[in-house]
Chains A and B, each alone.
Chain A
C-alpha cells in the first residue's frame, strides 16, 4: 500500500477532487497548509522581492491506495493540478505498513 501526498494550489482542489473521484478513489484527506519551494514563495513572476521568502497558502491532499494504483493516482493528481505556472506544488508517495478501518477492524488492502 502507498500513501500519496500532494501539495497543490488551493483553487485547484475541486479539479483534483473530481479527477480522483472519477478515477475511483474512495477517500481522501485534505489539510490546509503553507510553505514555499524553489521560487521562495513568490506567487507572481514579475513581483518578486529579492531576499524575501514568503509562505504561500497550499492544500495538502492525502490518499491511500494499493501499490499498483500509486503511479496512476499520482498521474491523475498532476494532470488535474497543473497550471504550468510557478507554485503548482509537488506530489510524492510513501510505503504504508498497515491500515485498519476503525469501525470494522478490517486490515490491509480491505481497509482502503
Chain B
C-alpha cells in the first residue's frame, strides 16, 4: 500500500501536468493552484482550486474556456477564478477565504513571474493588514468551533471544520505567515497528517467528498488506515485534535496580543501569583528564582495558580515544567493541596488541565490517566472522551464543594470516578480499585482512600435507584442506606451524581432526575440518622377531592396527570396508553386506592415540547375509563406514523430484579423507545392476570429503561417460577410485536382473576414539590397552553 501522503502528492503532480497541457504555451498567463491544491493535498474527491492569472489579455475568456471545459467534463469539482494580480489582491482584501487561499498559492504552469508577483503581493497585504485580518480569522474560528464543536471530543467529528481540525492548522499557518507566531511545530504537523490521512481514507471509503466521520464509516476508515478499529481511530484523532486545538489557541492568543500592542505599548509587568510563579502579559510564567529541576511540586503549584487566576500557562513555561523531577510517592501535602486548588478553580481548571495534558504532564503525575486519555465513549449520552469527562466532572464538582463535608474528597472522587473505564469489566468495580491506588499514591490517609474508592464504586447508585425504583417502597431506601452506610459518603455521592450528570451531556441530567435524586437522598439521610423510613407524602387535598365521588375522572395539571376510577385492574397501563396517544411521554406512574376508588398519578412530559390540549387528554382518559376508546387502534396509527429506527436496534432485554421490593416483583425492561411502550408491556402483564402498581421510565437517548412493580391477583410479588418465566416471554413478545402489530386482537384470555394492587400505605407518593420548582426546564412549564391552572373533567 502506498502511503496516503504519496498518493496525494502523486495526484497533485498528475493534475499539474494535465492543467499545464491544457494551458499550453501562452505568454502573460499563469495557472496558480490555491487552497488545498496549492498545498499539494489533493484527496480523491477534493475540489480543484485554480486561479487563472493574466496581465490583462482580451482573449482570456477563450483561454479559460480551453481549461475549464475539459475539467468540468472530467467530472472534477472546480473552484475557478480568472483575475489579474491587482484584481486578485483586491478580492483577497475583501474576502478572507480568498486571502487564506492565496497564502498557499503555488505556481502550476505558464509565466512564473506572474505567480511570484501574486504570492509576494498577497503576503505583503496579509502582513500589513495583519491586526484586522487576524481578528477576522479569530472570529471565524470561534464561530466554526461553536457550530462544529471540538474534534477531540465528538463521536462523529467533522475532520475539516471542527475545532482542532484541518482548518485550525491552516489558521495557525496564516497567523505564522503574518510573522506573529511560529509556524506549526513537529507535533502539530504530525497531528495534521493524521487528520488529513483520516479524511483521505474517508473520501476513499465513501467515494464522496465528505468531511464528517460518521459512526458507520469509522471501522472501515480505520481499516483503510491500517488501524484496528473505529475506537483506535477516534482515539488517535482525539489526540491529534487536542494538539491542534491547543496550538491554534496559542496562535490566536499571540494574534490578539499583536492587536493589543498596536493600540497601546504596555510595559512588561510581572505580578507574583504563587511561590515561583508570576503573571506576565496575561500568561502565567515561572519566576526568575524558580528552579524546575529541584522543585517537584512546581507543576501543580503553577497550574493551580494559573487556574485560580483564570490565566493560561505560557507554552515556554510548560516546556520548562516538563523538566520537573517526578513527585515522590506518596505525594507531599503541598502537591496534594495544589491539585485540590487546581480542581477547585472550576471551569478555568479545564483549560489548564488540557495544557498540562498536551505536554504529557498529567500522565507523569497520574500514570493511570494514560488508560482513559482520549478514550472515546460510544454512548449517545456522552459528549466527551473519558478523560475530558472526568475533568469536566471535577469542574462541576467545584461548584458543589459547599454542599459536602469533605470538599477535597469530592473533587478527587469527581476526577477519578470513571477512571475504571480504562480497564475491562464493570467500570465502577475496576474504578474503585484504581481510584484507591491513585488516592494512596497521592498520600491520602487510608480512611479517605476508602471513601474515594467507595465513591467510584457507587457513583451510579443514586441516579440509577432514583430513576428506576419506586422510592415509596421501603426496601429501596433501606438498600441504599445499607450500601452507603454513612452521611459523608451519601453527601459525596449526591454531589458526585450532579457533577457527573452535568459533565456527561444535556440528555443525562435534568430537573426531573435532579429532583428524584434529591428526594432519594433526603429519605436515605433520614434512615441513616436513625429515623424510620419516611412515609410517602399523602395524596393532596385536591386529589382526594377528585377521588371522593369515586370517578371516573381525570385531571391534567402541569406535568402531572391524575386518573380516578372505580377500582379495577389494568387502569395504570391503559391510562398510559391514552397519554402515549397524545404524545405525552410517561416518566413515572404510581397507582394507589382510596376506599374503592383507584387513583393513578402520572408524571408526564410532552414528546415534542409543545404540550397537547389538556382538555382533550382528560376527555380521552374519561372515554377510556368508560370503555369508549380503542387505545390500540390509536397507538397503531401513531406507530405507523413514527419513523422506523434507522439503524439496527439491539434486542430488548427483560430482567426480574429480586430483592428490590418486598411487596412487588420488579421487572426491568430495556428496549428501543417506541410510542406506547408502557401500555404494550402493561397489557402483556394484564394478560397474565398481573397488575402494575408503579412504573418508572428513564430515557437514555433512543433507549428506554422501563421498570415495573408487578403484583399478582392478591397484590403479592410473584413467586411461581413458571409465571415468572412466562411473563419474561410475554413481555418480550409484546416488544417484538410493537413494530409489526396490525389487526391482531388480544392474544389470550386472562388466566387469573384480575385485581388492582392496593397500596398498603393507603396513598401514593406525590411528586416532590422540588420536582416542579426548577427555574426552567419542562417541569416549570405548564402542560396547558390554553387553560390556566388545571382542568378537571368529570365523566357522566
Binding site for B on A (CB under 8 A): 38-40, 42, 44-51, 86
Contacts and interface: CB of A to CB of B under 8 A. Distances in A.
B223 interface: no
Nearest to B52: A46
Interface in B64-103: 64-65, 68-69, 72, 75, 77-82, 91, 97-98, 101
B649 interface: no
13 contacts: A38-B72, A38-B75, A38-B77, A45-B64, A46-B52, A46-B61, A46-B64, A48-B68, A48-B81, A50-B49, A51-B49, A51-B97, A86-B69
Contacts of B34: 50
Contacts of B98: 50-51
A104 B795 CA distance: 54
A38 B48 CA distance: 13
B756 interface: no
Contacts of A44: 61
A45 B79 contact: no
Contact of B72 (A46, A49, A86): A86
B174 interface: no
Contacts of A46: 52, 60-61, 64, 82
B68 A51 contact: no
Contacts of B49: 50-51
B64 A49 contact: no
B101 A39 contact: no
B51 interface: yes
A40 B72 CA distance: 11
A45 B61 CA distance: 6
Nearest to B97: A51
A36 to B, nearest CB: 12
B81 A49 contact: yes
A46 B53 CA distance: 11
Which interface residue of A38, A45, A47, A49 has the most chain B CB atoms within 10 A? A45
Contact of B65 (A45, A49, A50): A45
Contacts of A42: 80
Contacts of A48: 68, 79-82
B82 A51 contact: no
A82 to B, nearest CB: 14
Contacts of A40: 79
B82 A47 contact: yes
A95 to B, nearest CB: 27
B570 to A, nearest CB: 47
Given A39-B72, A50-B51, 15 more contacts: A38-B77, A45-B65, A45-B69, A46-B82, A48-B79, A48-B81, A48-B82, A49-B91, A50-B34, A50-B79, A50-B81, A51-B49, A51-B97, A86-B69, A86-B72
A41 to B, nearest CB: 12
Which interface residue of A39, A44, A47, A51 has the most chain B CB atoms within 10 A? A51
Nearest to A53: B79
Contacts of B101: 50-51
**List of 10 A-B pairs having minimum Cβ-Cβ separation, nearest first:** A50-B79, A48-B80, A46-B82, A46-B61, A45-B64, A46-B64, A50-B81, A48-B81, A51-B97, A38-B72
Nearest to B91: A49
A39 B75 CA distance: 10
A97 to B, nearest CB: 24
A46 B97 CA distance: 20
A49 B64 CA distance: 13
A77 B79 CA distance: 30
Contacts of B97: 51
Interface string B36-71: 000000000000010110000000110011001100
A44 B72 CA distance: 13
Which interface residue of A42, A48, A49 has the most chain B CB atoms within 10 A? A48
Contacts of A47: 82
Nearest to A84: B69
Contacts of B77: 38
Contacts of B75: 38
Nearest to B51: A50
A39 B79 CA distance: 8
Contacts of B35: 50
B71 to A, nearest CB: 10
B1 to A, nearest CB: 32
B96 to A, nearest CB: 10
B94 to A, nearest CB: 11
Interface in B551-572: none
Interface in B369-386: none
A45 B51 CA distance: 12
Interface string B728-743: 0000000000000000
A38 to B, nearest CB: 5
A50 B72 contact: no
B61 to A, nearest CB: 4
Given A38-B72, A45-B68, A51 B61 contact: no
A48 B72 CA distance: 13
A106 B452 CA distance: 83
Contacts of B65: 45
A20 B64 CA distance: 34
A86 B78 CA distance: 13
Interface in B432-456: none
B137 to A, nearest CB: 16
Contacts of B64: 45-46
B318 to A, nearest CB: 37
B140 to A, nearest CB: 13
Contacts of A49: 81, 91
A50 B98 CA distance: 8
A42 B77 CA distance: 13
A45 B50 CA distance: 13
A86 B69 CA distance: 8
A42 B65 CA distance: 13
A40 B68 CA distance: 13
A80 B77 CA distance: 28
A31 B157 CA distance: 41
B253 to A, nearest CB: 28
Interface string B494-534: 00000000000000000000000000000000000000000
A40 to B, nearest CB: 8
Contacts of B81: 48-50
A50 B49 CA distance: 7
Contacts of B80: 42, 48, 50
Nearest to B59: A46
Contact of B82 (A39, A45, A86): A45
B69 to A, nearest CB: 8
A21 B101 CA distance: 50
A6 to B, nearest CB: 20
Given A45-B61, A45-B64, A51 B79 contact: yes
Contacts of B72: 38-39, 86
Nearest to B61: A46
A39 B47 CA distance: 12
Contacts of B60: 46
A38 B72 CA distance: 7
A59 B180 CA distance: 52
A1 to B, nearest CB: 32
A96 B49 CA distance: 42
Nearest to B72: A38
Contacts of B78: 39
A25 B101 CA distance: 51
Interface string B220-252: 000000000000000000000000000000000
Nearest to A48: B80
A51 B94 CA distance: 14
Which interface residue of B52, B80, B91 has the most chain A CB atoms within 10 A? B80
A50 B80 CA distance: 5
Contacts of A51: 49, 79, 97-98, 101
A22 B168 CA distance: 60
Contacts of B51: 50
A83 to B, nearest CB: 13
A74 B60 CA distance: 34
